[in-house]
Amino acid sequence: MESLKALLDEKAAQYNCPRFIVDDPISFPRSFSRKEDVEIVALLASVIAWGNRKMILRSGNRMFHEIMHSRPYEYVMSGEWESLDDRMNIHRTFFASDFKYICRGLRSIYSRFGSMEPLFSGCSVWDGIANLRQELAAANGGAFTRHISNPIASKGKPASACKRMHMMLRWLCRKDGIVDLGIWDCVPQSGLMIPIDVHVARTARLLGLVSRKQNDRRTVEELTARLREFSPEDPVRYDFALFGVGEAGEQFICTLVE
């Protein structure tokens, strides 16, 4: 336990640094200062944060600076997005129709609440994600988008790991003063969940941090609980460690374990 904690602390410090920002989607919300802009960009950047990182950055630049004219909040509230061709591709399977769905939902949320933050206040992060999905759906005729996963089990499907939403929450709630922005107070760092994808999950299993084989909500809760043993006040700081070690490759991980 002590050697594993030392390894995770070392790698977290190594990757949780300013140079991490440049090639990561967090660079998009960090390029804005107005709270509403930061929130909107954090949501949209997290939604497209899958696949090749260079492609993610290219798609994000197009979305935020060409389509939204570098004024996300004004763009959402103006309804300019209504004129987009639904078939326009923005990022992989994320099309203008999906973008318009989120913009429509965000306009409703900001008209009613002034921010997305109240949706995550006074509840678990899982319930906050469910609230966000519900508000977006309510503004779109009750239809849910496939681009924001369901944190609640339904119709025989397990509750999702919600990797991209937990990444967004890490950006907005974690107050490290280095990489993450920490502009929200609705969720304490201790209450955040680890954003788990295939690579983070594989690294966690090789390091003996996770026993379950599925990458779902229960696995996120299991891994976060283990990481809280090392840092009760800030378990998701180890997202940087698991990501960095995972990028180094399986052979490197096996060497560390030995």
- Please give the backbone phi and psi of residue 119, each rounded to the nearest 5 degrees, phi first: -70, -20
Produce one character per residue of 13-23: b if its CB has 16 or more CB atoms within 10 Å, e if not: eebbeeebeee
Reported confidence tier of residue 245, pLDDT bands at 50, 70, 90: confident
Residues constituting the chain: 258
Q: Per-residue pLDDT for 249 more than 70?
A: no
> In 3-state terms, what secondary structure has residue 157?
strand
Q: What is the mean pLDDT of residues 201-226?
A: 94
pLDDT (mean) for 205-226:
95
Mean pLDDT of the chain: 94
Is 144 a residue whose pLDDT tops 90? Answer: yes
Full domain range(s) for residue 207: 2-257
Which residue type is seen at 252? F
Mean of the pLDDT values across residues 127-136?
Answer: 98
- pLDDT-above-90 percentage for the chain: 88
Predicted pLDDT of residue 89:
98
In the structure encoding, which two tokens stand for residue 10, read together?
């070392």
Measure Cα distances from 235 to 15, 46, 75, 188, 239 in Å: 15, 20, 36, 11, 8
226 pLDDT above the threshold of 90: yes
> pTM (2 decimals)?
0.95
Mean pLDDT, rounded, for 7-14: 93
What DSSP state is assigned to residue 87? T
* Among 51-55, 153-157, 162-166, 249-253, the least confident range: 249-253
pLDDT score at 174:
98
pLDDT band at 230 (very low <50, low <70, confident <90, very high): very high
Name the domain count of the chain: 1
pLDDT value of position 39: 98
| pLDDT exceeds 90 at position 248 | no
pLDDT tier for residue 251 given thresholds of 50, 70 and 90: low
pLDDT tens digit sequence for 49-98: 998 899 999 999 999 999 999 999 999 999 999 999 999 999 999 999 99
Distances (CA, A) of 254 to 76, 193, 202, 204, 208: 47, 25, 12, 12, 11
The better pLDDT of the pair 123, 51 is held by 123
- What's the farthest any 2 CA atoms get from each other in the chain? 58
For 119, residues 6+ apart whose C-beta sits below 8 A from its C-beta are 109, 113, 128, 131, 132, 135
| Per-residue pLDDT at 125 exceeds 70 | yes
Nearest residue to 32 via CA among 160, 172, 222, 164: 172
CA distance 138 to 159: 21
Q: Return the pLDDT at 180.
A: 98
- Return the structure tokens found at 121: 């206040």
State yes or no: pLDDT of 254 exceeds 60: no
Residue-level pLDDT at 140: 98
